[in-house]
Structures are given as structure tokens and as C-alpha cells.
């Protein structure tokens, strides 16, 4: 009987090991995930700001429309990961969240409401790969394209966005709001 319990518990712990990470591994992946999302954010935002400087949102929005994906792809190749930016209020339907991503977003929403610190999440996903999630928060630079009409977003920009993204839900934000999440999958 005891032997059976022993064998069973060893088996169970093996299964558990397969599906969970040690604290140390988690810390390492969090560090790596932060590095990747920081680099991707600065790549996307520096390109965007450059376009804004050259031709305002009229130039920056079409740029985003065609270049956000290729820029992200370059970062994916560089780090051997899959990078996604997703949200519960989408602009680009290609960034659609999974069920798990929606849960993470809603957890972050309630943590934000309760004034808690939003920290990255690392876990093993369904494909048995490590998956990293981190919040994306709205700052002043985002308001031109994601703010409220009249508060950051002007009529011209609004109509340009509507033309490119007729189903856009990604406006009406204020600084400090949760815009969405990074979701990074580490390839094997
Ligand atoms: C010049 C306009 C512009 C600015 C400024 C801008 N965005 Fe966007 N954003 C877009 C457009 C256009 C898309 C859709 C194309 C894409 O990136 O996939 C988008 C998409 C996104 C997405 C992907 C999810 C979705 O809804 O499709 C996130 C997340 C996001 N923006 C966050 C931000 C944050 C955070 C800032 C500020 C640091 C910001 N954006 C600034 C225009 C802008």
C-alpha cells in the first residue's frame, strides 16, 4: 500500500514537473520576456514616432497598418519567439485574443482597479511551450490614436482610422488604462 502511494506520488510529481516551471526558471523567462517586449515596444514606437514627425497621424496610421506585423516578425526571428499584441478592444482583427489571453486581460483589469501592481505571468501553454504575458498600458504618446475623440484623438485621425479599421474598438482610452497585453511564446 505504502509502495503504491509512493509510486503514485512520484508519478504525479513527474507529471507536475512537466507542466510547471521552477521559481528560478520562471524568473529567467520573466527577465527574457521583459527584454523581448521592451525591445519590440521600442522598435515599434520609435518607428511610429518617426512617421508621426514626418507626416503626423496621416502618415503614421497607414505605416502602422502595413508595418506593425513585419516589424514584429523581425523581432520574432531575432529572439526565436512568437510575439503577439492583443486586446479585449481590438483595432486590428488579426490581433484577436485567445481564451487564455482574455482571462489574463481580465485579471490585469481587476488588479488595476484594485491598485495592485501588474506583474508578468509565465506559464506552460497547451503546446507545452513557455508563454509570457505582460500588460500594455496607455501613455501620453498613445492618445493621438487611442484616446477619446476631442481628447487626444482628433476628427481627421478618427476618420482615417475608421476607413482602415471599420470595426475599431481601440479608442476612448485615457493615460494609465490597460490597452492590452503582450503574449510571447518561446519556441522549442
Ligand atoms: C499613429 C497612431 C497610433 C499611435 C500613436 C499608437 N497606436 Fe496602437 N495601433 C495603431 C494602429 C493603426 C493599430 C493597428 C495595427 C497594428 O498595430 O496591428 C494599433 C494597434 C495597437 C495594438 C494591438 C492590438 C489591436 O487593437 O489591434 C496595441 C496593443 C496598441 N496599438 C497599443 C498602443 C500603445 C500602448 C500606444 C502608445 C505607446 C499606441 N498603440 C500608439 C495606431 C497607433
Residue whose CA is at the smallest distance from ligand 1 atom 5: 142
Cell of 137: 498600458
Residue 126 lies in a domain: yes
Residues with CB under 6 A from ligand 1: 45, 48, 52, 57, 60-61, 64-65, 68, 85-87, 90-92, 95, 136, 138-139, 141-142, 144-146, 170, 179-180
Residue 5 lies in a domain: no
- State the closest ligand 1 atom to the C-alpha of 138, by its place in the atom list counted from 1: 35
Residue 15 lies in a domain: no
Residue 138 lies in a domain: yes
Per-residue pLDDT band for 20 (boundaries 50, 70, 90) equals confident
Over 60: is that where the pLDDT of 83 sits? yes
Strand positions, DSSP E, 78-140 = 81-86, 121-124, 130-137
Q: What is the pTM of this model?
A: 0.90
For 46-70, write each residue's pLDDT tens digit: 999 999 999 999 999 999 889 999 9
For 134-163, write each residue's pLDDT tens digit: 999 999 999 999 999 999 999 999 999 999
Residue 127 lies in a domain: yes
Per-residue pLDDT band for 114 (boundaries 50, 70, 90) equals very high
Number of domains in the chain: 1
Range of the domain at 139: 21-186
Amino acid at each position: 500500500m505504502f509502495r503504491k502511494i509512493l509510486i503514485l506520488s512520484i508519478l504525479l510529481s513527474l507529471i507536475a514537473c512537466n507542466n510547471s516551471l521552477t521559481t528560478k526558471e520562471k524568473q529567467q523567462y520573466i527577465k527574457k520576456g521583459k527584454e523581448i517586449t521592451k525591445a519590440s515596444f521600442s522598435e515599434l514606437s520609435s518607428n511610429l514616432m518617426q512617421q508621426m514627425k514626418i507626416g503626423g497621424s496621416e502618415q503614421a496610421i497607414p505605416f502602422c497598418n502595413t508595418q506593425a506585423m513585419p516589424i514584429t516578425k523581425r523581432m520574432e526571428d531575432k529572439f526565436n519567439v512568437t510575439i503577439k499584441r492583443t486586446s479585449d478592444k481590438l483595432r486590428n482583427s488579426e490581433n484577436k485574443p485567445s481564451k487564455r489571453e482574455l482571462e489574463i486581460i481580465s485579471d490585469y483589469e481587476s488588479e488595476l482597479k484594485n491598485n495592485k501592481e501588474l506583474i508578468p505571468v509565465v506559464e506552460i501553454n497547451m503546446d507545452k511551450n513557455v508563454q509570457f504575458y505582460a500588460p500594455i498600458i496607455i501613455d501620453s504618446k498613445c492618445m493621438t490614436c487611442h484616446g477619446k475623440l476631442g481628447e487626444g484623438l482628433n476628427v481627421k485621425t478618427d476618420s482615417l482610422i475608421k476607413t482602415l479599421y471599420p470595426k475599431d474598438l481601440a479608442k476612448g482610452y485615457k493615460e494609465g488604462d490597460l490597452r492590452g497585453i503582450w503574449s510571447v511564446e518561446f519556441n522549442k
